[in-house]
């Protein structure tokens, strides 16, 4: 697959979660291409399988059957370390719960993926650049997550997702824990990241949020409707 091909390709992907009460089919033969630079919204009711789809895209999970290519690599054939490096170097995560690391301050949280990749950190230029990009005030840089508002935390989380300059940004209900005004700010930020050429894939059940995306798909009972 060359540079012009899809950055993410699902071919007949099925994901089954084995549970004591019986297997749950979360995704049922899903085929989907995501092209570089797309802004995709995945919609659907809760339990429909949209989060499973996002987790597969983020290499947090592997398909039960079918093939999934990320940047041309078949994730089913990758080792845990290879999957981890793929996440670290090419994918940025934005969670509904922000998921900052409570032991670290703002700068350290943002630098963390960079330290994992480059083995060095500190308050680098790159760090200040991404923090400026998400519009976080400088006086908050030494604060810990507990001292920040939800909107501020999500900005830090986005800065963290951007630090290693990934091609793909994955966002799971990024505005789900924020008020409308703050949520709008975050969506404008994601929109800007997409305009700068990043592929943005977002799970949401909010129509207003989904409106930012240039392509929308809906998942129902593990299938693309």
Partner 1 sequence: MIFLTFAVRNLRRHKVRSILATLGIVIGVFAIASLGVMGNSINLLATALISDVGDTIVITPHTAIGGAGFAGDPRTVVEATIPDADVERIEKAAAGHRVIPVLQGAGEITVGNEGGYAQVIGLATEDIPYLLDLEEGNNLRTGSRGALIGTYLAREYDLRAGSRIRLGDEQTIISGVIAERGFAFDINPDYAIVIVEERFRDLFPEAEGYDYVVIRVTDPAEIDGVKEEVDGLLNRRDDVVDITDSREALRQVNEIYAAMTRFLLAIGGVSLVIATVSILNVMIISVTERTREIGVMRSIGALRREILLMFLYEALILGIAGSLIGGVFSFVGGYFISIAAVQVLTAGTTFAEGVTVFDPLSVAYILFAMVFGTVTSVASGLYPAWQASRMKPIEAIRG
CB of 218 to partner 1, least distance (A): 23
Check binding of 78 to partner 1 (CB under 8 A). Answer: no
Nearer to partner 1, 111 or 212 (CB): 111
Q: How far is CA 3 from CA 6, 124, 159, 179, 214, in A?
A: 8, 30, 26, 39, 21
**Rg (alpha carbons) of the chain, rounded to whole number:** 17
Check binding of 198 to partner 1 (CB under 8 A). Answer: no
Check binding of 121 to partner 1 (CB under 8 A). Answer: yes
Binds partner 1 by CB under 8 A, chosen from 61, 75, 106, 213: 61
Question: From CA 143, how far away is CA 179, in angstroms rounded?
Answer: 22
Cβ neighbours, 10 Å, residue 208: 12
Binds partner 1 by CB under 8 A, chosen from 10, 39, 69, 93: 93
Nearer to partner 1, 51 or 212 (CB): 51
Question: From CA 131, how far away is CA 6, in angstroms rounded?
Answer: 30
Identify which of 19, 17, 36, 40 has the alpha carbon closest to the alpha carbon of residue 27.
Answer: 17
Binds partner 1 by CB under 8 A, chosen from 29, 73, 88, 143: 88
Nearer to partner 1, 30 or 210 (CB): 30
Phi/psi for 111 (5° steps) reads -75, -20
- The span from the first CA to the last CA of the chain, in angstroms, equals 27
Beta strands in the chain, from DSSP E residues, in sequence order = 8-17, 24-34, 39-43, 65-70, 73-74, 91-94, 168-172, 199-203, 215-220, 223-224
Binds partner 1 by CB under 8 A, chosen from 6, 49, 58, 222: 58
CB of 4 to partner 1, least distance (A): 27
CB of 5 to partner 1, least distance (A): 25
From 66-74, 97-105, 200-208, 209-217, span contacting partner 1 (CB under 8 A): 97-105
With CB under 8 A as the rule, give the number of residues binding partner 1. Answer: 28
Give me the residues that bind partner 1 (CB under 8 A), please. 55, 58, 60-61, 80-81, 84-85, 87-89, 93, 95, 99-103, 108, 112-113, 115-117, 121, 160-161, 164
């Amino acid at each position: 697959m060359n540079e012009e091909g899809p950055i993410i390709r699902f071919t007949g992907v099925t994901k089954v979660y084995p549970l004591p009460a019986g297997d749950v089919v979360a995704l049922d033969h899903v085929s989907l291409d995501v092209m570089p630079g797309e802004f995709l919204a995945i919609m659907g009711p809760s339990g429909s399988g949209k989060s499973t789809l996002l987790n597969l895209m983020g290499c947090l999970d592997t398909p039960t059957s079918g093939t999934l290519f990320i940047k041309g690599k078949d994730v089913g054939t990758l080792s845990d370390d290879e999957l981890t490096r793929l996440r670290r170097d090419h994918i940025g995560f934005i969670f509904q719960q922000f998921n900052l690391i409570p032991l670290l301050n703002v700068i350290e949280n943002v630098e963390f993926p960079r330290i994992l990749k480059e083995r060095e950190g500190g308050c680098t230029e790159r760090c200040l650049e991404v923090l400026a990009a998400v519009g976080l005030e400088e006086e908050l840089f030494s604060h810990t997550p507990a001292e920040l508002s939800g909107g501020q935390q999500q900005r830090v989380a986005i800065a963290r997702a951007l630090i290693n300059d990934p091609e793909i940004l994955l966002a799971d209900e990024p505005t789900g824990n924020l008020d409308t005004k703050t949520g709008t700010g975050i969506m404008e930020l994601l929109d800007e990241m997409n305009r700068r050429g990043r592929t943005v894939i977002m799970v949401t059940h909010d129509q207003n949020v989904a409106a930012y995306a240039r392509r929308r798909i809906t998942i129902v009972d593990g299938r693309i409707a």
